[in-house]
Structures are given as structure tokens and as C-alpha cells.
Structure 1
């Protein structure tokens, strides 16, 4: 396995490819994203361990979207069966993906625990869905400090796990090594990932502006808040699905293609031009 160093402008290409591939199979990819989110939401309902179980499913959910995007880029229609792709590729990969999930849950809960040292756990309770966010709470200095600390700590955590599911699935890399290779690849391609993040930020802001104008128009013609709220939620879900669709292209360009494919589609190969 060889790491590829790509120019900074590649980050913009990753965004373009993610959006393009999403619109090749919008219903299939959006439905798969919705099912992954629904599965994680159901997991949170488990007594005591629900939030931890839901967090541990995130690497598998990311992998499902990566494989689905690879399928769509190769002209095939992703199916709901891809939701279980992490659990159908042999015991070794299954154990590796479960280990990744456990490590992610521990890392995320660790970030929340550190933030709780600042504000007594208010931010953690709000973020994990256990408490409502009030204006007074949001304006509190301790709450804001805990929020920024969580963001600061979550960035390296997300980079550790960015490529890890793909490395386990397509390259059969052990979990700990996958985490190491993932953060090294993100660091070595810092310019491309910076452009990638800023480009997606621009997409989200532009979409937010358009939706705000649309909501204002709907309210002006008396169609009600329900339709406006539904439009905002649908747009947010679609943008999140597009974002996850683009992840496989960051993986493809960062690593040499595997010698042998797994049970599902290989990462999409770069176009000749």
C-alpha cells in the first residue's frame, strides 16, 4: 500500500465528484444514508449502552456510504444490503470493523468527558441528546469553552478514523495501523483536505442561504412553517449524504488501489484525464 500526495486543488475535485456521483443515484444514496441514520438512532434507545452502541456504528455507516458511492461511480445502483457491508466480508474484517467502532466510541466519549471537566457535562448532555439547549446555557462562558474544546479535540479524532474504514475493508489493514495510516494520509495531504473542507463549507453556506430565502418565500405565501421545516430537514439530509458520498474519492486518491477487491466494489479509479 502506497500513500499518494495530491495537489491542494484536488480537494475541490473531491467535492465536485461527490456531488456528481450523488446525483447519478440520488434516491438510492439518500435512502441508504437515511437508513444508516435511522439504525444509529434506534441504537440510542438501548438502555444504558445506547449512545455508545450508536457511536460504534459510525465507522460501519461511513463504510456503507463509501462502498455505495463506489458502486454508483461505476454505473451500478447501490442497494440497501450495503448497510451491512461491514458485517459480510469475513470474520477478520468484521472483528476489525467492530474494533474500529469500539475505539471510535471510546474516543468520542473521552472527548465529551474532557469537556465535562469545564462545564460540568452540560455540553455533553446537549450534544448526546440528553438535555435541551437553552439560550442562557448557550451564552454561558463554561458551555462555550467546553464546545470549543470538544471541537478542537474532535478534529484529530475524525482524521484518525477518516480513511480507517476503507483501509480495513479494501486493504485489510489492522485497526490500529489503519488509524495511523489515516491520520498520516490526512496530514500529508493537508492542503487538499483544507480546500476540501473550505469547499464543503461554501456549499453548505450557499445551500443555507438558498433555503433561507425559500423558507421566507413559503412563509410569505402562507404555506406554513411545517413545509418550510420539512424543506430544511430534507436539504440538510441531502447535503450530508453528498458529503459522505465524496469521502470515497478522498480515500481513492490518497492510497494506491488494492491488489484484490473485497466482496464489494473497489474504490472508483481516477479518470484518464
Structure 2
């Protein structure tokens, strides 16, 4: 396995491929994304252990969505069980994936804990859905500092785990080694990932403006409010679909056993 350098414009191509692949199997990929969201939400609701459990399962669930995207690129209809691909493999891969998830959960909880110390938990409660946003809270200097502290800690954590589930599952790399290769691949293709992020931000902005304009043209602001959430959820599903292409183009060789993993 070798890292591969790609030009900056590839970032926009990843977004395009994610959208095109989503529309090849919209029902399957949207359904899998909503199952993914439901599993994460239900796990989070469990008292005390809910959030750590959800974060532990996140890499495995992300791998499932990537495997579903892989099937869609091959013209197949991904079935719901593919979401649990990582947890239905042999014991060694399951242990490695859960170890990876445990490392992510630890990093996430530490980042959230540091933000808690900054503002007494205001940002953490809002981020985790435990409180409603208020103007006073959002304008609080402590809240804004806590938000940027969390972003600053979570961004490198995200890069370490961006490719890690695929590298653990398809390349049999140990969790720590997969995290190292993941962040190196992201930094070596920095401009492609920058374009990727900006392209998704642009897509979200266009969707929000289009829905707002439609509501104004039809003189029905309530229509905009009703359409905005499902539109953003569909864009989120397309975003997760595009993750597979960022992985596929960042490494030189096709992962061994890829076809078997997708079946």
C-alpha cells in the first residue's frame, strides 16, 4: 500500500462522484444513512454509556457506508446488512475495528471534556442536544472559545480517523498504524481535501439559498422550513457516499479482498 498524491481539483471530483453514485442507488444509500443515524441516536440515548458507545461504533458504521458506496459503484443494490460489514467479519477484524472505535471515543470525549472546562459545559450540552441555543449563549465569549477549542482538537482527530476504518478493514493495518497513514494521506493531499470541504460548503449554501428562494417565490416561508431539514439530510448522505472516493484515490493499490468485503 502506497500513498497517492492527487491534484487539488480531485476534491471537487470526489464531491461529484459522491453525488452521482448516490443517485445511482438513492433509495438504498439514503435508507442506509438514515439507519446509520438511527443507530447512532439510539446508542446515544443510553444513560452514561450512550455517547461513548455511539462514538465507538462510528468507525464501523462509517466503514459500512463506504462498503455500500463500493457496491453502488459496481451497479449493485446495497442491502441493509452491509452497514454492519465491519462487525460481521472475523474476530480479529471485529476486535481491531472496536479498538479503533474505542480510540476515537476516547479522543472525542477528551476534546469534549476540555471544552467543558472552558465554559462549564455550555457548548457540550448544545453540541450533544442537551440544551437549546439562545442568543445569550451563542454570543458568550466562553462559549465561543469552547467551540473553537473543540474544533481545534477534533479536526486532527477526524483526520486521523478519516481513512482509518478502511485501512483497518480492507488492508488489515493495526488501528494505530491506520490512524498514522490516514492523517499523513490527508496532509499530503491537503489542497484536494480543502477543495473537497469548500465544495461541500458551497453545495450546502446553494441548497439553503434555493430552498429559501422557492419559499419566497411561492410566498410560503413554512415550505422552506419544511424542506430544509430533509434536504440537508440528503446532502449529508451524499457526503458520506463521497468518503469512499477520498479513500480510493488516496492510496495506490486496491485493497486486498475488496470484492469479498463488498459481497
TM-score range, shorter chain: over 0.9
Q: Deviations over 1:229-265 (max 9, x none)?
A: 3311110110000001000001001112123336322
Q: Match for residue 260 of structure 2?
A: 263
Q: Match for residue 79 of structure 1?
A: 79
What secondary structure sits across from 1:263 in the alignment? helix
Q: CA RMSD in A?
A: 1.5
Contact map agreement 2:86 2:93 (CA 8 A) in 1 = yes
Q: Determine if the alignment matches structure 1 residue 239 to structure 2 residue 230.
A: no
> How far apart are the structure 1 equivalents of 2:93 and 2:217?
50
Residue ranges of structure 1 left out of the alignment (5+ in a row): 267-273
Give 1:154 shift: 1.3
Q: How does 1:155-194 map to 2 (within 5 A)?
A: 155-194=155-194
> How far apart are the structure 1 equivalents of 2:176 and 2:217?
51
Q: Determine if the alignment matches structure 1 residue 21 to structure 2 residue 21.
A: yes
What secondary structure sits across from 2:48 in the alignment? coil
Q: Match for residue 244 of structure 2?
A: 248
Task: Choose between structure 1 and 2: higher helix proportion.
Answer: 2
Q: Match for residue 151 of structure 2?
A: 151
Q: Deviations over 1:205-227 (max 9, x none)?
A: 11111122223345x24xx73x5
Distance 1:53 1:215, change over 3 A: farther
What secondary structure sits across from 2:256 in the alignment? coil
Q: Match for residue 102 of structure 1?
A: 102
Using structure 2 for the length normalisation, give the TM-score: 0.95
Q: Determine if the alignment matches structure 1 residue 68 to structure 2 residue 68.
A: yes
Q: After TM superposition, what 4+ stretches of structure 1 lie above 3 angstroms from structure 2?
A: 215-218, 227-230
What secondary structure sits across from 2:14 in the alignment? helix
Contact map agreement 2:160 2:182 (CA 8 A) in 1 = yes
What secondary structure sits across from 1:44 in the alignment? helix
Aligned length: 262
